[in-house]
Amino acid sequence: MGSDFDAARRAARRAYELGRLRSSALRAAMVAAVSAAAAVVAVGPDALAWVPVTLLVWIFIEWRGTWLLRGARGGLLAGLTTLALPLSILRPCCRLDADMSSGTCCTMPGACVVVGAMLGLSLALVVPRVPSERRATTAIGMVLGVGSVAALRCGALLFGEAAGLIGGLVAGVVAANLARAWMDRGELGAHS
């Protein structure tokens, strides 16, 4: 009798997890499709090479849900913002009439770090209020959300620029979450 119950419990759990995975894949496909469409318009068809990464990251985010998902939704907004960045901001030493994908145009990973950090810090506006024990999970969600979509933008950049943009975004997200923790701590002290 006990083995029948265990087998039924395992079968129910498997069906439950497969159902969650299916619904997560559907929602992730919608995020990836919107991100891919925006990337093709903003960056060009080269960005499509990174869409599978975006899809897999969002399947995981949707499947895990809760605090990771809450953070990732805020990160998604910043990631989509990176798609709107003109290449002239990421490579400011190029003339406006220069072919920015040619070898005659310089690269400036430092500019990408600054732009990424500013975008990451802007996430302070959308950092959700979460219990302190869930803050790290939410921050990881924000990093995954922003990184999965910013990767589409980075397809048109050189490695150093892409690493700078992603690194700046991650640093900004971490700083925004630390600022939220500090503000929450100040509010708790005021109420004590």
Closest CA to 153 of 29, 30, 54, 25: 54
User: What's the rounded mean pLDDT across residues 3-8?
Assistant: 90
* Whether residue 192 has pLDDT greater than 60: no
Residue 12 has pLDDT above 80, yes or no: yes
Q: How far apart are CA 10 and CA 19, in angstroms?
A: 14
pLDDT averaged over every residue in the chain = 81
Confidence of residue 104 (pLDDT cuts 50, 70, 90): low
Quick: pLDDT tens for 34-63.
999 999 988 888 889 889 999 999 999 999
CA dist., res. 53 & res. 150, Å (int): 11
For the chain, give the number of residues.
192
Q: Full-prediction pTM beyond 0.85? A: no
